[in-house]
């Protein structure tokens, strides 16, 4: 399955709704400030991203995610990881 930007965004928004009970976050909201998204949430999200990619992320790839603050940045990250793992 090809991961288009739209599919990635829809999947990320589904995860935020189901796993974190964050409904309709703004794509450029600072998740930490607006939705109190913390490091434990981020670790859970990385697990969900591995599921989306059907691939395990390396330690370095996970470290690249540490400065992500917005849904748009998450989508960029997943897009780049999908290319790296294909």
Per residue in 53-76, pLDDT (tens digit) is 999 999 999 999 999 999 999 999
pLDDT at 86: 87
Query: 2: pLDDT confidence band, cut at 50, 70 and 90?
Result: confident
Domain that holds residue 14: 5-85
pLDDT at 10: 97
pLDDT at 1: 56
Collect contacts of 50-53 with beta carbons under 8 A, ≥24 apart: 52/3, 52/8, 52/11, 52/78, 53/3, 53/78, 53/81, 53/82, 53/85
CATH of the domain at 75: 1.10.1200.10
Task: Give per-residue pLDDT as tens, 17-57.
Answer: 999 999 999 999 999 999 999 999 999 999 999 999 999 99
Structural domain count of the chain: 1
């Amino acid at each position: 399955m090809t991961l288009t930007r739209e599919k990635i965004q829809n999947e990320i928004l589904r995860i935020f709704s189901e796993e974190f009970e964050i409904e309709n976050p703004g794509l450029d909201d600072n998740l930490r400030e607006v939705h109190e998204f913390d490091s434990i949430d981020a670790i859970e999200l990385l697990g969900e991203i591995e599921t989306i990619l059907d691939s395990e992320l390396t330690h370095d790839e996970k470290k690249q995610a540490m400065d992500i603050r917005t849904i748009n940045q998450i989508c960029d990250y997943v897009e780049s990881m999908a290319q790296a793992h294909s």
